[in-house]
């Protein structure tokens, strides 16, 4: 009998759909600048512990993710957002 060879399967994280990409909220709304004073918008991009979430989780494009990171850091410096929470 001939032996079957198995092709390696791609591992998916639980809850993710194959081929499904998150779209950038800023690109959808045609936002050019991310404002550090808009704390309610920035809270979406930080975790419960106060860390900045990465692009894979937020779905932001590279350009807007960088803007979000700078805005979060500025908001922390102005004491609008906490450095850590918990």
pLDDT score at 60:
94
pLDDT for 11:
65
Tell me the β-bridge partners of 52. 46
Domain count, the chain: 1
- Residue 86 falls within a domain, yes or no? no
Per-residue pLDDT of the chain (86 residues; tens, 9 = 90+): 667 777 777 665 555 556 667 789 999 999 899 999 999 999 999 999 999 999 999 999 999 999 999 999 999 999 999 998 76
- Any domain includes 83: no
- Please check whether residue 11 lies inside any domain of the structure: no
C-alpha span between 49 and 65 (Å, rounded) = 19
Measured in degrees and rounded to the nearest 5, phi and psi for residue 52 equal -75, 125
Q: 3-class SS at 25?
A: helix
d(CA 52, CA 44): 9
Task: Tell me if 7 is assigned to some domain.
Answer: no
CATH of the domain at 51: 4.10.640.10
- Which domain, by its residues, includes 65? 25-77
Q: Return the SS3 of 63.
A: helix
In a domain? residue 29: yes
Output the pLDDT for position 45: 94
**What's residue 58's pLDDT?**
92
């Amino acid at each position: 009998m001939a032996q079957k060879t198995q092709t390696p399967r791609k591992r998916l994280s639980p809850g993710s759909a194959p081929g499904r990409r998150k779209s950038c909220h800023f690109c959808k709304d045609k936002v050019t600048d991310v404002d550090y004073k808009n704390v309610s918008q920035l809270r979406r991009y930080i975790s419960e512990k106060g860390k900045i979430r990465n692009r894979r989780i937020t779905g932001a494009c590279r350009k807007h993710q960088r803007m979000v990171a700078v805005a979060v850091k500025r908001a922390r410096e102005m004491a609008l957002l906490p450095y850590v929470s918990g």
